[in-house]
Amino acid sequence: MLTGCWLAASVASSAAFSQQAPPAAGRPPAPTQNAVPLATNVPAPPVAPEPSDAAAGSNTTVVPRAAGDDLAASANLKLLAFLTADGHKIDKGIVWRVFEEKPPRAGKLKILSTLRDPSPTLKLPPGDYVVNASYGRAHLTRKISIKGGAPVTEQFILNAGGLRVTALLGTQPAPSGAVTYSIFTDERDQQSNRWAIMANAKPGLIIRLNAGLYQIVSTYGDANAIIRADVNVEAGKLTEATVAHSAAKVAFKLVTRAGGEALADTQWTIQTLQGELVKLSVGALPTHHLAPGNYSAIAKSSGRSFRRDFSIQNGDNVEVEIVQQ
């Protein structure tokens, strides 16, 4: 079980959450709620081009028509995206995908066009279409009907917000690259498992999400220093969440005598005193970050097993040595 960890969340309003803000710099936020200004005018992260993207510099995308379609009856479809109903138009970082409304036998919709113009115009023959707007991990899908003739403008209200996670080790910023986290929805499947939205996210980056409840699962190191916390993302706002990890750095070695050289090719099993598996590894001197608590280390070498119980506290940097007897 983890002890000594906390999560603080603060929410800042923004009328222009259209950009990707840089990671927070300087000291970590205190575990209290306060308003945090949202950075703007920062370019969105680059997105790899797709074969179906519209040609650069084109203001109107013409979707290829099927045989028998009347080109003269085609209409222009203008797409606009907004964070909230009363917010500013999104002008960077949005991806549009247009599909045929009727799925093929395989059950997947056929994509007709992918566009990264924030406010594209498409020339479409009459018919029904499915249009998806994606803004980071926030998205909205709608069915649109084209009757032909008069131009059509469709506004997509994404009701999106942002989440930025700051990771601490104790009261200090966690070392760079030491923490990753996953985001899960509040919805569950038939087995009561949450749906994963994103894995291996890095602290300090803004993740765009649809408004709603989410669970953060933050991991320090490669073992059991894990924090789970629920956060609420509000439309048009940036939610700042701070997770404080408790962990100890532990190195393991199997020796023939006290203080001797570590034996190579040793198989290690780290478990709780109740027998719950924590970590498996192989090597002469494996090192792991573990949550504070009581553990057993089992070393296997040359067909023999050796065991030692040990306890660690937050901030420890220790070596667990097992002597063959």
**Mean predicted confidence (pLDDT) in 156-178:** 96
Res 60: pLDDT: 54
Pairing of strands 121-124, 60-62: parallel
- Please check whether residue 296 lies inside any domain of the structure: yes
Q: Which tens digits make up the pLDDT trace of 59-71? A: 555 555 554 555 5
Are residues 151 and 64 both part of a single domain?
Answer: yes
Nearest to 62 by CA among 124, 13, 16, 152: 124
Q: Is 1 exposed, middle or buried (0-12, 13-18, 19+ CB in 10 A)?
A: exposed
**Mean predicted confidence (pLDDT) in 128-140:** 96
Name the one residue in this structure whose structure tokens are 């923004």.
Answer: 14
DSSP letter string over 240-258? EEEEEE--EEEEEEEESST
Per-residue pLDDT at 54 exceeds 60: no
Name the residue type at position 192: S
Sheet containing 152-157: give its strands across: 60-62, 121-124, 75-82, 152-157
- In angstroms, the Cα distances linking 240 to 23, 192, 235 are 11, 27, 14
Helix (H, G, I), strand (E, B) or coil at 228: strand
- In angstroms, the Cα distances linking 183 to 58, 203, 228, 319 are 36, 12, 10, 34
DSSP letter string over 272-285? ETT--EEEEEESSS
Res 8: pLDDT: 54
Number of domains the chain contains: 3
Res 45: pLDDT: 32
Band of residue 88 on the pLDDT scale cut at 50, 70, 90: confident
Per-residue pLDDT at 14 exceeds 80: no
Are residues 64 and 147 both part of a single domain?
Answer: yes
CATH number at residue 224: 2.60.40.1120
Averaged confidence pLDDT in the chain:
82
The domain boundary, picked from 245, 265, 283, lies at 245
- Please check whether residue 84 lies inside any domain of the structure: yes
Per-residue pLDDT at 262 exceeds 90: yes
Are residues 291 and 260 both part of a single domain?
Answer: yes
CATH number at residue 109: 2.60.40.10
Q: Is 268 exposed, middle or buried (0-12, 13-18, 19+ CB in 10 A)?
A: buried
- Please check whether residue 36 lies inside any domain of the structure: no
The domain boundary, picked from 139, 157, 175, lies at 157
- The pTM score is 0.75
The domain boundary, picked from 105, 126, 157, lies at 157
Strand ranges (DSSP E) for 138-266? 138-146, 152-157, 160-169, 172-173, 179-188, 194-201, 206-210, 212-220, 225-233, 237-245, 248-255
More confident of the two residues 127 and 297: 297
- HSE (side-chain half, CA atoms, 13 Å) at 118: 13
- Please check whether residue 129 lies inside any domain of the structure: yes
The Cα–Cα gap between 131 and 137 comes to 16
Helix (H, G, I), strand (E, B) or coil at 73: helix
163 within 8 A of 233, measured Cβ to Cβ? yes
The Cα–Cα gap between 298 and 276 comes to 13
- Please check whether residue 92 lies inside any domain of the structure: yes
The Cα–Cα gap between 82 and 289 comes to 43
Structural domain span for residue 303 = 248-323
- Please check whether residue 49 lies inside any domain of the structure: no
Are residues 228 and 296 both part of a single domain?
Answer: no
Nearest to 282 by CA among 294, 270, 274: 270
- Please check whether residue 106 lies inside any domain of the structure: yes
Q: What percentage of the chain has pLDDT greater than the value 70?
A: 77
Task: Compute φ and ψ for 72, nearest 5 degrees.
Answer: -65, -25
Q: Which tens digits make up the pLDDT trace of 184-225? A: 999 888 888 899 999 999 999 999 999 999 999 999 999 999
- Furthest-apart CA atoms within the chain: distance in Å: 89
Name the residue type at position 246: S
Task: Compute φ and ψ for 21, nearest 5 degrees.
Answer: -85, 155
Band of residue 11 on the pLDDT scale cut at 50, 70, 90: low
Helix (H, G, I), strand (E, B) or coil at 72: helix
Per-residue pLDDT at 162 exceeds 70: yes
Band of residue 20 on the pLDDT scale cut at 50, 70, 90: very low
Band of residue 317 on the pLDDT scale cut at 50, 70, 90: very high
